[in-house]
Structure 1
Amino acid sequence: MKTGSRIVITADGSHSVYHPVFNQHYHSIFGAWQESQRVFIELGLEEAFRRFSDDLFVFEMGFGTGLNALLTAREAGQRQRPVFYTAVEAYPLPIAEAQQLNFDALLGTNYLSLLHEAPWDALTEIHSYFTLTKRQGLLQDVATGDTLPGRFHLVYYDAFAPEAQPELWTEDIFRNIAGLLRPGGLLTTYCSKGYVQRNLKAAGFTVEKHAGPARKREVLRAVIG
């Protein structure tokens, strides 16, 4: 889908993408890499590696630029810990645009094109410790499918902000997400608005507030019982 999106450079030198339909950036303009590293890798993936000793299953809401998947693939390879990664995306970036992103050059990786070129609805081995499945569609449809409930150790919740997509931050949505997680599973997100915290709690999560990346006072990690 052509959306008129455009690549922007954020404060830490990494790229983000501006989506004019939602009037949103895919990552923080104060540092795309720093935001993803803090919210999804440090608070999510590293904690999941500590809590769970078996192969890790990760679900991402909002594949977007592929940055979160790229960072996860890099970390899985460095730790030699197998990660099976499922991402849902309703509005995929054109591959030609994704290939212009500077994440590989910045991070010293070479996976970004592989991530974006991977076929939809198919297992793709990116490297020995990272296997990707991309699903194109709405979270509301994918998260209630028969094959996903109770499978995941960790959810990266990286939807556009509530003012752009309020339907993705409701108690009902978080109940669906809770159903995807194994006992003790984790959800991390950049959004710490009060009603988001309340909706997570109402859906059965215990909510933790943590210091955020640049210009972001708090971000959330939520744990399902």
Structure 2
Amino acid sequence: MDSLPSRLFLTEDGSHTLYDPGFDQHYHSIHGSLQESRRIFIELGIDPFLDKADEIRIFEMGLGTGLNALLTWQWAEQHRKPVEYVGIEAYPISDAEAEQLNYGALVGQDGLASVHQAAWGTPIHLSPYFTLVKHQTLLQHFSAEGTLFDVIYYDAFAPRVQPELWTAETFAQVAAFTKTGGYLVTYCAKSDVQRALRSAGFRVEKHPGPWGKRHVLRGVKE
């Protein structure tokens, strides 16, 4: 993995990630940010809902670099399927860091700057098919205000550094705003995370992960 300016790193598939020294964590897999996001959040998350809903509502825990939002925006345009995307982020990256990320050039989708520069707390219609709502808050302080989501992108930092975000109590909070039959997808397949998801009312599925990750999880809200 090559070092680039600031806390920017180049992963093995040629896409960037950022390193957070406070949490001692990379935002994405060092084996490949792009292939990780496509596998977990697009293939296992939103793809199955293409023919299930007229409009798809996504909630992302950990907006981070904006890669998942950008890929979902591209998906919405390609399939001409309206997506409402709600993302929360307690520690936003700077505009300068966002400008360094190479995702737009790699995937052929402009708009990453628009994701990061969008106002907080208000719906922003970035295209006829993609509406973004960002909240700068901790998950514990977030209220869905009656909205139910089809898919949860659960992309918090690892349980080692954010254990409070991987408990049965926290997953129960998330389950409360997940539709019955909705999905929660995440990179973390630890056994205690599986148990916490089951306790919160999700049926847990293990799926093959992206390169460098044996398994990832999909929880189905029961």
TM range, smaller chain = over 0.9
Q: Secondary structure at the match of 1:99?
A: helix
Please give the alpha-carbon distance, in whole angstroms, between the structure 2 residues aligned to 1:133 and 1:122: 6
What corresponds to 1:213 in structure 2? 210
Shift of 1:47: 1.4
Residue identity in the other structure for 2:161: A
Q: Answer yes or no: is the 8 Å Cα contact 2:144–2:177 preserved in 1.
A: no
Identity of paired residues, percent? 52
Structure 1, unpaired ranges of 5+: none
Task: Choose from 181, 201, 204 the match for 2:201.
Answer: 204
Please give the alpha-carbon distance, in whole angstroms, between the structure 2 residues aligned to 1:115 and 1:54: 23
**Deviations, residues 140-197 of structure 1 (Å, cap 9, x unaligned):** 110xx261x4511110000000001000000000000000111111100000000000
Please say if 1:11 is aligned against 2:12.
Answer: yes
Residue identity in the other structure for 1:223: V
Q: Answer yes or no: is the 8 Å Cα contact 1:150–1:182 preserved in 2.
A: no
Shift of 1:48: 2.3
Sort the Cα spacing of 1:40 and 1:146 in 2 relative to 1 into closer, same or farther, 3 A.
closer
When the two chains are superposed, the root-mean-square deviation of aligned CA atoms in Å is 1.2
Residue identity in the other structure for 2:205: E
Residue identity in the other structure for 2:197: L
What corresponds to 1:114 in structure 2? 114
What corresponds to 2:186 in structure 1? 189
What corresponds to 2:68 in structure 1? 68
TM-score by length of 1: 0.95
What corresponds to 1:32 in structure 2? 33
Residue identity in the other structure for 2:89: E
Q: Secondary structure at the match of 1:96?
A: helix
Please give the alpha-carbon distance, in whole angstroms, between the structure 1 residues aligned to 2:53 and 2:67: 25
Q: Answer yes or no: is the 8 Å Cα contact 1:5–1:18 preserved in 2.
A: no
Q: Answer yes or no: is the 8 Å Cα contact 1:76–1:83 preserved in 2.
A: yes
Shift of 1:24: 0.1
Q: Secondary structure at the match of 2:65?
A: coil
Q: How many residue pairs align between the two structures?
A: 218
Equivalent residues in 2 for 1:1-225, closer than 5 Å:
6-50=7-51, 52-142=52-142, 145=143, 147=145, 149-225=146-222
Please give the alpha-carbon distance, in whole angstroms, between the structure 1 residues aligned to 2:60 and 2:71: 12
Residue identity in the other structure for 2:135: R
Sort the Cα spacing of 1:201 and 1:5 in 2 relative to 1 into closer, same or farther, 3 A.
farther
Q: Secondary structure at the match of 2:217?
A: strand
Shift of 1:49: 2.1
Q: Answer yes or no: is the 8 Å Cα contact 1:150–1:179 preserved in 2.
A: no
Shift of 1:112: 0.3
Please give the alpha-carbon distance, in whole angstroms, between the structure 1 residues aligned to 2:100 and 2:212: 26
TM-score by length of 2: 0.96
Please give the alpha-carbon distance, in whole angstroms, between the structure 1 residues aligned to 2:6 and 2:166: 23
Q: Answer yes or no: is the 8 Å Cα contact 2:13–2:35 preserved in 1.
A: yes
Shift of 1:108: 0.7
Shift of 1:113: 0.5
